[in-house]
Amino acid sequence: MNSEETRGASTALRLAVILGMIALAAALRVLPHPWNLAPVGALALFGGAMLRDRRAAFLLPLAALFAGDLFLGFHKLMPVVYASFLASVAIGGWLRERRTAARVAGAAFLGALQFFVVTNFAVWAAGGLYPRSGAGLAACYIAGIPFFWNTLAGDLLYSALLFGGFALAERLLPALRPSPVRSAA
């Protein structure tokens, strides 16, 4: 096998492992778990950081979220949830070249925070649960705080598993390391 074939096989293996990890995280989402303590945010960060093709980085995690929602169901705020999820993919892109534990933890915190701000605002704006006033908005955010802690815990836990697991796999299997030439993964 020449160096070009070896590089291609390495890139394919890397992509297969990344996609397998995304699929596994998506499958874990449909298992019973406390509200918001799920791998969704981490899946978005991981996809944004690890998939070199920007279209794939946004589409594959979004497809994984949609596949889970086929089992879990949909609600009227799904477009907002999906938009927030895409913001987390973009945050993951910030990790693409330098994936340190501190940066991954910071990205997980930022992802959880933006999800909390965006989705709670949408709940308030949709009306019905809280008065459309500053006090109503504050009440909505206060009521969402327990969900924020679960979102943050899930994002941190699953980010550690996804990014840490892949870093360990790269150490154990040098073929998973990115090739010097820009790869598809």
Tokens of 169: 């796999």
Q: List the pLDDT tens digit at each of the 185 positions of the chain.
A: 566 766 677 788 888 888 888 888 888 888 788 888 889 899 999 999 999 889 999 998 888 888 888 888 888 999 999 999 999 999 999 998 889 999 999 999 999 999 999 999 999 999 889 999 999 999 999 999 999 999 999 999 999 999 999 999 999 988 888 766 554 55
Token look-up 């981490």 returns 42
For the chain, which residues make up each domain, given as ranges? Answer: 3-176
The single-letter DSSP state of residue 100 is -
Q: Please give the Cα distance from 80 to 59 (Å, whole number).
A: 16
Whole-model pTM: value is: 0.86
pLDDT of residue 99: 92
CB burial of 47-68 (b: ≥16 within 10 Å; e: otherwise) equals bbbbbbeeebbbebbbebbeeb
**Whole-number pLDDT of residue 32:** 80
